[in-house]
Amino acid sequence: MPEDLVITGCGVVTAAGTGKKEFAQGLFSGGGRFAVMERPGRGGERGFLGAEIAELTLPGRFSGRLLRTVSLSGRAALLALHEAWEDARLDTADPERVGLVIGGSNVQQRELMLKQDAYRDRPAYLPPTYAFSFLDSDLCGLCSEQFGIRGAAHTVGGASASGQLAVIQAAQAVRSGAVDVCVAIGALADLSSWECQALRSIGAMGSDRFADEPDLACRPFDSLSDGFIYGEACGAVVVERASTGGGRGARPYAAVTGWGVAVDANRNPDPSVDGESRAIGQALAHAGRAPGDIDYVNPHGTGSGVGDPVELAALRACGLDGAYLNATKSITGHGLSAAGTVEVVATLLQMEAAVLHPTRNLETPIDPTLNWVRGQAESRRITHALTLSMGFGGVNTALCLQNANG
């Protein structure tokens, strides 16, 4: 494989499995953990549905004193980064040449709301850590401090495209020479009941139809879907040049061959065939690939009655209707800011196993003529893959990956 940008490490936290091994098992079995959400500050009279992760156990390198001041989003970021860091053997990398990009803004909303409620009548006793925990830079500071990262570090917000946008910016940072290695993290968006209610009110979040059957509610690209189902998640990937990782003995999962970013000039959550097609076209051109070269597409696929048909129309417009398709969110739920990074990890694991995971609850596809992977996993060799993410505010991203093993 020619000298190129590659992904040499990944880490993941989802309700379908924490860590690569458990996550892969959850993907290929089509498992899911959907229920009425119970975290404090996220409940509500309407009983919001979602997929909440099990209690997180962090490795001994993180002190108990530290973890007592760290939010759920922070703990998930540390755990995903730890796995990716170990995977890529980054302990021997020059810390001044390692960068960090965190995808997501306003990601600690629930924990901040709980603090506000707890100290509303005694504000003078508000914990001093609130002064920095409400800032997006908090996760940058937390992760860089714990892992000794001394290169560039910043956040990037693109709503539900944030996670994939972080991977793209990590690749750009390495390609420009700003750093030798860059970690991209899609942060866990910790929704409170306020965000859940607002997303229900605009018709984005389901589900009224399956309120009493949570296991059936998350159904991207299915005719009975009535909105996305939230899922707690966090993902991390390490991007660097092949020679840099090879010098540490890190093995590449895939090459990052091309990407595209296009916006719709639209504040509202109204997807656009034009914008999505432009992002896809940019990614293919950047990668030097024709549509027919793409074996597999990991789509954004949320379960939106508006977004899903537009995305499939964009794939057809770009000549990608021959590629295999599945929907990772059918298993994980919609991780919002984390989704794009988690779905890159899902794509890498499918490439590695030469297996495509099933799409849960895809009983009546809105377009049955496409190459769906439906009720069970399928053995498929993936050489070139395309992953897509879209976010409110008209943000469209696309990323091309090439299997490192041919």
Mean pLDDT for 334-357 is 98
**Could you tell me if 206 and 318 lie in one domain?**
no
Long-range (24+ apart) CB contacts under 8 A made by 209-215 are 210/49, 211/47, 211/49, 214/34, 214/35, 214/36, 214/49, 215/32, 215/34
Q: What 8-state DSSP symbol labels residue 222?
A: B
pLDDT of 43 reads 75
Whole-angstrom distance, CA of residue 391 vs CA of residue 396: 7
- Give per-residue pLDDT as tens, 72-103: 999 999 999 999 999 999 999 999 999 999 99
Cβ neighbours of 216 (radius 10 Å): 16
Using pLDDT thresholds of 50, 70 and 90, give the confidence band for residue 64.
confident
> Which of 224, 247, 270 corresponds to the end of one domain?
247
**Could you tell me if 224 and 273 lie in one domain?**
no
For residue 2, pLDDT over 50 is answered with no
**Could you tell me if 241 and 371 lie in one domain?**
no
- Give per-residue pLDDT as tens, 289-336: 999 999 999 999 999 999 999 999 999 999 999 999 999 999 999 999
> H or E element: which one contains 278?
helix 273-287
For residue 213, pLDDT over 70 is answered with yes
**Could you tell me if 239 and 277 lie in one domain?**
no
**Could you tell me if 242 and 263 lie in one domain?**
no
> Which of 197, 218, 247 corresponds to the end of one domain?
247
Query: Could you tell me the pTM of the whole model?
Result: 0.97
Mean pLDDT for 140-169 is 97
CATH number assigned to the domain comprising residue 82: 3.40.47.10
For residue 145, pLDDT over 70 is answered with yes
Whole-angstrom distance, CA of residue 43 vs CA of residue 41: 6
Tell how far CA 201 is from the center of its chain.
24
**Could you tell me if 354 and 206 lie in one domain?**
no
Using pLDDT thresholds of 50, 70 and 90, give the confidence band for residue 378.
very high
CB 286 within 8 A of CB 400: yes
Looking up tokens 């936290």, which residue turns up? 13
List phi, psi (to 5°) of 306. Answer: -95, -50
Mean pLDDT for 276-298 is 98
Domain count within the chain: 2
Interaxial angle between packed helices 72-87 and 109-118, expressed in degrees from 0 to 180 and rounded to the nearest 10: 150
For residue 192, pLDDT over 50 is answered with yes
Using pLDDT thresholds of 50, 70 and 90, give the confidence band for residue 54.
confident
**Could you tell me if 25 and 167 lie in one domain?**
yes
**Could you tell me if 133 and 233 lie in one domain?**
yes
**Could you tell me if 235 and 328 lie in one domain?**
no
pLDDT of 269 reads 85
For residue 45, pLDDT over 90 is answered with no
Whole-angstrom distance, CA of residue 257 vs CA of residue 5: 7
Quote the radius of gyration of the chain (alpha carbons, Å). 20
Percent of the chain residues topping a pLDDT of 90: 91
CB 231 within 8 A of CB 335: yes
CB 74 within 8 A of CB 111: no
> Which of 225, 247, 269 corresponds to the end of one domain?
247
Q: Is the dihedral of CA 25, 14, 305, 281 positive or negative?
A: negative
CA distances from 286 to 3, 12, 59, 348 (A): 16, 27, 39, 20
Tokens at 387, concatenated = 């992953």
Tokens at 44, concatenated = 């509500």
CB 44 within 8 A of CB 274: no
**Could you tell me if 188 and 222 lie in one domain?**
yes
**Could you tell me if 167 and 182 lie in one domain?**
yes
Using pLDDT thresholds of 50, 70 and 90, give the confidence band for residue 31.
confident
Percent of the chain residues topping a pLDDT of 70: 98
pLDDT of 1 reads 36
CA distances from 269 to 158, 277, 304, 374, 394 (A): 12, 17, 11, 28, 7
**Could you tell me if 292 and 337 lie in one domain?**
yes
- Give per-residue pLDDT as tens, 15-28: 999 999 999 999 99
pLDDT of 44 reads 61
Whole-angstrom distance, CA of residue 61 vs CA of residue 106: 27
Which domain does 183 fall in, by range? 5-247
Lowest mean pLDDT across 128-132, 342-346, 369-373: 128-132
Tokens at 360, concatenated = 């849960």
